[in-house]
Structure 1
Amino acid sequence: MAKEIKLPQLGQTMEEGTVVNCLVKVGDEVKKGDVIFEIETDKATLEMESPLGGFVKHVLAKVDQTLLVGAPMLVLGEKDEEVPQSFVDSLLGVESAPSGPAPAATTAIAEPAKAAPEPAKPAGKIMASPRAKKLAQELGVDLTTLKGTGPAGKITELDIQKAAEAKPARPATAAAAAAPAAAAGEARLGTTIALNRLQRITAERMLKSKQEIPCFYLTVRADVTNLVAKRAELNAAGDVKVSFNDFIIKAVATGLERFPIMTGQLAGSAIKLADAIHIGLAISVPDGLVAPLVKDVNNKGLKQIARDSQALIERTRADKLDLSDLEGGCTTVSNLGAFGIESFIPIVVPGQCTILGIGKITDTCVPDNGNILVRKLMNMTLSVDHKVANGAYAAQFLDFVRNLLEEPSGLTV
């Protein structure tokens, strides 16, 4: 008997997903648990597994389509079963998701003309990340001609770059020339630049934050002279390179243990505190900004945090994050000091209570008992959800974090 496969809710906040890759075609046998699609959500690109076994009779979802949760994706049936077009037509009218109402716009689903196997479509067989596909489009590389060197033969950005370098140069069309320029930040005045998916999602989430999270902001200046010396000492003697962010993340985690309300979220008439201290680290990627989580920071020493942070950065930039790297955070650290920014007001990530913005470390003349000392100072700005925490409580938390950074011997190595 023919059965439909719907787009599942792959994350707590997922409302829609974009089909990045289809890994099956009409006639293929699928077993329960087989990966059938790659779906890009508001957080990451995830693998969608089949909840059932059977043979593919119809592929309803197409690559690059954005579908609502609950939209029909695939039809499975017995090997020799004939699935009537009327059954497919009925699926295209489905308007409810498994977990509740979630209308699926019929215009978002391309309907096959007949139950016969679809024409071969290279995009459905290509294993490549969204950024790799985008790079291929910008460089004019045909993905169907490449053999991927990544896991399971997945095409990587490096594969595309090598292919682009190997092929002869050709005149670029105006559209092809404009895309790389925009991606590299070289757009000309007067042009219009389309948002990529990550930028659009970021815009939507930041608007949601501004509309639903009434924030107040606290700024302090920390004297991190001792911290700079401590970091240099550790990195000179150890096998693990510790960054300033690692110290900050550890200090924040210790502060959250002392002031647990700062991990909370308003739940009706109560405040639900976080089960664990997972801290987001804002990381720049070619398409925008991602803030995956360093997990259980309060239970780790500084060097382990450094290892985990570095591994997280590498996975982020290799587009290898999964949903567990992105959900469950209680705060985020965003450091723009490397760009020369002295202070800024960050926007709280929806689902979290706070975000800490870190500025550059500057040599500053400071009066001391009639003398002038040159000290290394760093601005920290904390954005706080006023629904959860009040000003006095948040100020105590931030002051505690500052003291830890000014006297870093209290941070476990």
Structure 2
Amino acid sequence: MATEVIMPKWGLTMKEGKLARWLKSEGESVQAGEPLFEVETDKITNSVEAPTDGVLARIVVPAGETAEVQAVLGIIAAPGEEVGPVSGKAPKQETPDSAASAPQASASEADSGQEEEFVPAMPAARRLAKELGVRLSAVTGSGPKGRITVKDVKAFAESGGGINASPQAIAFAKKKGVDLADVQGSGEGGKITKADILRAMNPNYAAGQQPQAAAPQPASQSEAPASAPAAPIAASGEDTIVPMEGMRKIIADNMHASLTNAAQLTVFVEADVTEMVALRKTLLERNKRNPDYRLSYNDIIACAVCRALKRHPVMNATLQDDGIHQHAHVNLGIAVALPEGLIVPNVKQADTYGLEELAVRVRDVAGRARKGGLDMDEISGGTFTISNVSMLGMDGFTPILNPPETGILGVGRVVEKPAVKNGEICIRSMMTLSLTFNHMVTDGAPAMTFLRELADMLEQPGLMMA
């Protein structure tokens, strides 16, 4: 009997995915568990395995198309079996707006009718390449397995490999539907400016006529062509419209869903972490001959969080459709800020590691998150999250839950300030911790008890060993 291959759902807010490429062709044999196709989301590209043995009898959604979750992408059948009509959802159709915003194929591509060969690249790199007019096939990837990263695209564009246009001109051309390949640049080094686009749209502009009031002016005097008359300064410039799409849209949906579907409450505590500071200094001194050893306060906090969660399992829980799941191990999420948004990779079974090994694993997933080297398993399945804003100079904040988790810890900076110790005023290292928890899963007292015990561990690190 034929088996439908469907678009998987990764995460609570995933609604669609782009079928990046098929790893098998129609008529080719497949085995259950064998990689069958790759799906690209706004956060990651991941391969999907074949659900059964057989032959890929039909490809319903071709590579490059976007399909909704649970849409039928293809059919696996027995050799020689006839395949009937597809019963699942159809792939998502492009709207006129999305078609207009899609990158235009070059003349050679249009004439030949051939699509550009699939090139492995991170989603953010693909978006940037579209914005800059960079052909990914011309870029050399430096990421894992040769995957192209944002850094690679930027370097290629800056070296002259992409369209030679100012960022303002690229955004303006996209907004007006102008193909930059048809625009002659008059800026420094032939760079295309907004004024050049205006001339391409309105030939009279080159003859000295002023543009319409709606037309934007050059971003700077150096961008204006020397032969064109200076345009008057508008009373107010055009607003910049940033599309709510990609990772920004995913984050917005996640945060809205989090606040809508959970009763969130945040509590704070100020901890005297002087002993934690001393512990880090001692361990750094002990390992100073190892240039790769960089123990941070966050590493010590992560270790303490794991120990505290084992003693307070209600905080290491997720709220799911069938009830509250209290997990046997801690899959510790670490919030990582990226230029295009936020991602939370997690260390699986973090509670099974000692301080130094946990520090290595946290640094590994955080580093690969910034380089675009994570797989889907590493950004899903978390049970508790730490969000540290100390590097931004913040004392504290109110974090938002990472659904379906029950708790998230906010970490502020370490500040030396006067404090009372043994009845005397002295200078101590203080830190503000904030815990946001889901009041649907636990009451205030258990959550506050967890936070207080965590603070005690940071004030007296020896308690982590008890």
So what's the TM-score if we normalise by structure 1?
0.80
* Aligned match for 2:245, one of 160, 177, 196: 196
Q: Which residue of 2 aligns with 1:60?
A: 61
Q: Following superposition of structure 1 onto structure 2, how do residues 265-284 of structure 1 map, counting pairs within 5 Å?
A: 265-266=318-319, 271-284=324-337
The question of whether the paired residues in 2 share the 8 Å contact of 1:20 and 1:130 is answered with no
Pairing 1:21–2:20 present: yes
Instruction: State how many pairs are aligned.
Output: 381
Determine the C-alpha separation between the residues in 1 that align with 2:134 and 2:304: 46
Q: Which residue of 2 aligns with 1:170?
A: 164
Q: Following superposition of structure 1 onto structure 2, how do residues 236-255 of structure 1 map, counting pairs within 5 Å?
A: 236-238=285-287, 239=290, 240-255=293-308
Determine the C-alpha separation between the residues in 1 that align with 2:359 and 2:93: 47
- The one-letter amino acid of 2:401's match is V
| TM-fit CA distance, 1:244 | 1.1
Q: Structure 1's 37 and 230: CA in aligned 2 closer, same or farther, altered over 3 A?
A: same
| TM-fit CA distance, 1:381 | 0.8
- Which stretches in structure 2 are left out of the alignment for 5+ residues? 99-111, 175-236
Q: Following superposition of structure 1 onto structure 2, how do residues 200-211 of structure 1 map, counting pairs within 5 Å?
A: 200-211=249-260
Determine the C-alpha separation between the residues in 1 that align with 2:125 and 2:55: 31
Q: Calculate percent identity across the aligned residue pairs.
A: 30
Determine the C-alpha separation between the residues in 1 that align with 2:318 and 2:167: 51
Aligned to 1:107, the other structure's residue is in SS state coil
The question of whether the paired residues in 2 share the 8 Å contact of 1:6 and 1:74 is answered with yes
Q: Which residue of 2 aligns with 1:291?
A: 344
Determine the C-alpha separation between the residues in 2 that align with 1:267 and 1:343: 29
Q: Structure 1's 388 and 189: CA in aligned 2 closer, same or farther, altered over 3 A?
A: farther
Pairing 1:329–2:351 present: no
Q: Structure 1's 23 and 192: CA in aligned 2 closer, same or farther, altered over 3 A?
A: same
Q: Which residue of 2 aligns with 1:228?
A: 277
Q: Which residue of 1 aligns with 2:93?
A: 107
| Worse-superposed segment, 19-28 or 402-411 | 19-28
| Worse-superposed segment, 127-136 or 223-232 | 127-136
Q: Following superposition of structure 1 onto structure 2, how do residues 371-390 of structure 1 map, counting pairs within 5 Å?
A: 371-390=424-443
Determine the C-alpha separation between the residues in 1 that align with 2:76 and 2:322: 45
Determine the C-alpha separation between the residues in 2 that align with 1:364 and 1:189: 47
| TM-fit CA distance, 1:161 | 3.8
Q: Structure 1's 257 and 236: CA in aligned 2 closer, same or farther, altered over 3 A?
A: same
- The one-letter amino acid of 1:141's match is V
The question of whether the paired residues in 2 share the 8 Å contact of 1:19 and 1:37 is answered with no
Q: Which residue of 1 aligns with 2:135?
A: 142
| TM-fit CA distance, 1:23 | 4.0
Determine the C-alpha separation between the residues in 2 that align with 1:369 and 1:258: 29
The question of whether the paired residues in 1 share the 8 Å contact of 2:23 and 2:38 is answered with no
Q: Which residue of 2 aligns with 1:9?
A: 8
Query: How big is the alpha-carbon RMSD for the aligned residues of Structure 1 and Structure 2?
Result: 3.5
Aligned to 2:114, the other structure's residue is in SS state coil
| TM-fit CA distance, 1:199 | 1.7
- The one-letter amino acid of 1:322's match is D
| Worse-superposed segment, 30-39 or 194-203 | 30-39
Q: Which residue of 1 aligns with 2:404?
A: 351
| TM-fit CA distance, 1:390 | 1.2
Determine the C-alpha separation between the residues in 2 that align with 1:270 and 1:177: 47
| TM-fit CA distance, 1:377 | 0.9
Aligned to 2:170, the other structure's residue is in SS state helix
Q: Which residue of 2 aligns with 1:49?
A: 49
Determine the C-alpha separation between the residues in 2 that align with 1:104 and 1:250: 47
C-alpha distance after superposition, 1:204-235 (max 9, x if no partner): 12111111111222100011111112112211
Q: Structure 1's 146 and 76: CA in aligned 2 closer, same or farther, altered over 3 A?
A: farther
| TM-fit CA distance, 1:162 | 4.0
Q: Which residue of 2 aligns with 1:403?
A: 456
Greater Rg by CA:
2
Determine the C-alpha separation between the residues in 2 that align with 1:148 and 1:30: 31
* Aligned match for 2:115, one of 100, 118, 121: 121
Determine the C-alpha separation between the residues in 1 that align with 2:3 and 2:313: 45
Determine the C-alpha separation between the residues in 2 that align with 1:391 and 1:218: 9
| Worse-superposed segment, 343-352 or 163-172 | 163-172
Determine the C-alpha separation between the residues in 1 that align with 2:153 and 2:427: 49
Determine the C-alpha separation between the residues in 1 that align with 2:365 and 2:298: 13
| TM-fit CA distance, 1:105 | 6.2
The question of whether the paired residues in 1 share the 8 Å contact of 2:272 and 2:431 is answered with yes
C-alpha distance after superposition, 1:22-58 (max 9, x if no partner): 2458668463355443213476431123445546754
The question of whether the paired residues in 2 share the 8 Å contact of 1:25 and 1:56 is answered with no
- The one-letter amino acid of 1:171's match is A
Determine the C-alpha separation between the residues in 1 that align with 2:374 and 2:251: 17
Determine the C-alpha separation between the residues in 1 that align with 2:135 and 2:321: 52
Q: Structure 1's 7 and 368: CA in aligned 2 closer, same or farther, altered over 3 A?
A: same
Q: Which residue of 1 aligns with 2:419?
A: 366
Q: Structure 1's 371 and 64: CA in aligned 2 closer, same or farther, altered over 3 A?
A: farther
Determine the C-alpha separation between the residues in 2 that align with 1:321 and 1:206: 22
* Aligned match for 1:213, one of 262, 265, 283: 262
Q: Which residue of 1 aligns with 2:234?
A: none
Aligned to 1:167, the other structure's residue is in SS state coil
